[in-house]
Amino acid sequence: MLNDTNTPNNTPNGGDLELSWSEDAPKGGKIVLNRILKDGANVPLFFAQTLVSSLRDQGYNDTTSALCEHVDNSVQAGASEIRIYFKQMGKPGAYKTDVAVLDNGQGMAPNVLKVAMAFGGSMNFNNRSGIGRFGMGMKTAALSMSPLVEFYSWQEPKAIYNIALDVEAIGRERTNNVMLPDPELLDKLPDDVADIIQKPMSVPRDRSQQTLLVDTNGDLCEVLGHSGTVIYMPNCDRLSFAKANTLVDHATKEMARVYRRAIGEGLRLFINNRQVTAFDPTYSMASARHRQYLEEVGTKDSKLITAKLLDIPIHDSKDSETAQVKISLYKLPIEDWHHLPQKTLRNDLHIFNGQTVSILRNGRELFADRMAELTTRHSITHWFRVQIDFPGELDEAFGVAANKQGVRLKGYVKDVIKEGIGEDISTVINEIRRFQSEQRISAKAAKPSTSESKATSADPHQARTLSLTLEEEEQIEGNLRTLAVSLKRPNETDDEAFERVKASRYIIQYVHDEYWPFYRAERRYGRVILSINTAHPFYSELYDPLRKLDVLDITGDEENNSAKHVRDQTGPLVALELMLVSLARTQAGLSLENEDALLTLETLQREWSESLRIQLTA
């Protein structure tokens, strides 16, 4: 680092010069920089010694995302089989972990291999039709894990070309321009690399789960085939997890989803000799992992609600060219899946992992998570999926970085997507809410709710009774049976509905209607009927959250319905329902006595409901 600009100029080259590098900085780089500053030597555009060292901190989210760079290159090289290895030795706290990636792609000739090792060297620079673009990923991803990376590639048997990148060796170089060596020709892979391929891994422990490419008794050269590439990263010092089993499990989970399209089209992907089955967060792929669980329980896949092609500007300008994006909306079959065991929903199907929105670039997934600005913040998003497919031409619009670490959609892109599919998402959300409402009613079938019972028990103390006309008294049983049929809850028989309605003077039911107010009050046969509208934001913003508070989940998870108990006749939901029931009782009573009051109260109900809707959603 140069001294402060206030330092007096005591040298012909511009002042006192002093480097304040750390002790572990590349020694060769320091020598080169001192020579340039003092002697006025030519300055290279890149200082290789420091550049290569700094690229180790490129910023990959985790080890798996770095390895995905190698899988991307293998897929682009036409590989039909890719194998990833985590070989771990030593004791806890002192593990030595080697990582390798093997593919049977087209391989690289020695001059191409040399170019591929150069930063920025690419045979497909800025070609947006494939997965990679800039010729940086393979090197930076490997160096983010290990300071030494060895590359082996061949295009004919027993003619393997090898070249290595060694951060420490490059850091010791004292020349301004660090040149790559020529690849070395080998007739076989080194023993340490061959051992990884030919011997079982320590993980998974069950050796029957490992399918080796070839064991030590086989001919490795023959099995490696006509072409391929191996990337070997020994003694990795920067891995996301210390234990091999965690590295294996995380890579398997993520890559099963990221490369689901390629796996569905025939790619054989192995991690520690165990083949990876595609995982589809939309639950629509026939060959994906979820199918085995659904076949066991005899239920169905998700339903494609809509698939739309939207034109999105490449740049945020009026005269920009556009490229097409495909938006697919899937509704998960909550009607068939809600009764499945929690283990199946949570651990096997991964319904509650929050992967509501999946975004793929040229068939390779870059993002899978919640995206509230496109959907909603409520937990209801567990039950639908949005899949967005975009081409490489829209990289800037989708905010794709060079290392493909997620997306950062531009505002105008979000606007186009919301306009194109927003109404469809709202429709699906309403359908899911309607079903969930019916299920909650069904859970209380055949008996009055706490609020209905409390209101009924308090009725004798009211100033006005819910009296019946003489005609209603004479026909009470028949009338109540007719009323009970119209108010019957799911999973309730006619007789059960009749006994429930007969036992309670207050009935709470749920309707779902976009044009209704948030509640409605009726009085029939001495019963006050309160209808709560699940389509109104009053329900989603206040009523339903209070309902969830009234149900305590021992596991602390709202989605786990296996161990719940209800609060004892107190709580905010009961208080809210009693408030609405008393309002309905008063409103129904006044309406019967005065026709003008009926019109006034209905107007009040509509105006209040609309005002509340605007305040909750504006």
More confident residue, 403 or 6: 403
Judge contact between 305 and 428, C-beta under 8 A: yes
For residue 555, pLDDT over 70 is answered with no
Question: Can you tell me the mean pLDDT for 243-264?
Answer: 96
Mean pLDDT of 272-286: 96
Cα–Cα nearest to 454, from 581, 369, 554: 581
CB burial readout 330-345, b (16+ within 10 A) else e: bbbbbeebeebebebb
Instruction: Give the model's pLDDT for residue 487.
Output: 86
* Residue pLDDT, tens place only, 294-336: 887 777 889 999 999 999 999 988 888 999 999 999 999 998 8
Q: Is the confidence at residue 288, as pLDDT, over 50?
A: yes
- Distance CA(610)–CA(231), nearest Å, equals 64
Per-residue confidence at 441, pLDDT binned at 50, 70, 90?
low
Report pLDDT digits (tens) over 443-472. Answer: 566 778 888 888 888 888 887 777 766 676
Provide mean pLDDT across the span 23-32: 74
Segment 16-21 shows an average pLDDT of 65
Q: What average pLDDT does the segment 192-215 reach?
A: 95
The predicted structure's pLDDT at residue 557:
43
Average pLDDT of the residues of the chain: 84
If pLDDT is split at 50, 70 and 90, which confidence band does 381 have?
Answer: confident
Q: Residue 409 and residue 403: Cα distance in Å, rounded? A: 16
Tokens for 120, please give them: 């920025």
Per-residue pLDDT, 561: 42
- Name the most confidently modeled range: 385-399, 537-551, 578-592: 385-399
556-560 mean pLDDT = 42
Tokens of 328: 């697919």
Q: Read off φ and ψ for residue 96, nearest 5 degrees.
A: -115, 120
pLDDT at 140: 85
Q: What share of the chain has pLDDT > 70, as a percent?
A: 86
- The pLDDT confidence band at residue 123, using thresholds 50, 70 and 90, is low
- Residue 324's pLDDT is 96
Q: Which residues contact 600 (CB under 8 A, 6 or more apart)?
A: none
The whole-angstrom separation of Cα 83 and Cα 103 is 6
Residue 111 has pLDDT above 70, yes or no: yes
At residue 566, the pLDDT reads 40
Contact status, residue 189 vs residue 152, Cβ threshold 8 Å:
yes
Residue scoring higher pLDDT (17 or 121): 121
> 368: pLDDT confidence band, cut at 50, 70 and 90?
very high
CA distances from 190 to 81, 154, 221 (A): 21, 14, 12
**Across 171-180, 414-423, 437-446, 520-529, which has the greatest mean pLDDT?**
414-423
Question: 66 in helix, strand or coil?
Answer: helix
Single out the residue of 290, 367, 357, 369 nearest to residue 328, CA to CA.
357
What confidence score (pLDDT) does residue 314 get?
93
Q: Averaged over 483-499, what is the pLDDT?
A: 85
pLDDT attached to residue 559: 43
What is the pLDDT at residue 410? 94
Domains of the chain, earliest start first: 53-275 (3.30.565), 290-433 (3.30.230), 444-617 (no CATH)
Point out the least confidently predicted range of 49-53, 254-258, 314-318, 335-339. Answer: 49-53
pLDDT at 570: 58
Residue 91 — pLDDT band, cuts 50, 70, 90?
confident
556 pLDDT higher than 50: no
Query: pLDDT at position 282, please?
Result: 96
Distance CA 272, CA 264 (A): 20
Helix axes 450-458 and 572-593, enclosed angle (nearest 10): 50
- Give yes or no for residue 7 having a pLDDT over 50: no
Reduce the DSSP state of residue 534 to 3 states and report it. coil
pLDDT at 568: 42
Q: How far apart are CA 269 and CA 263, in angstroms?
A: 7
Stretch among 152-156, 238-242, 508-512, 551-555 having the lowest mean pLDDT: 551-555
Share of the chain above pLDDT 90, in %: 46
In angstroms, rounded to a whole number, what is the distance separating the alpha carbons of residues 334 and 383? 7
Is the pLDDT reported for residue 51 higher than 50? yes
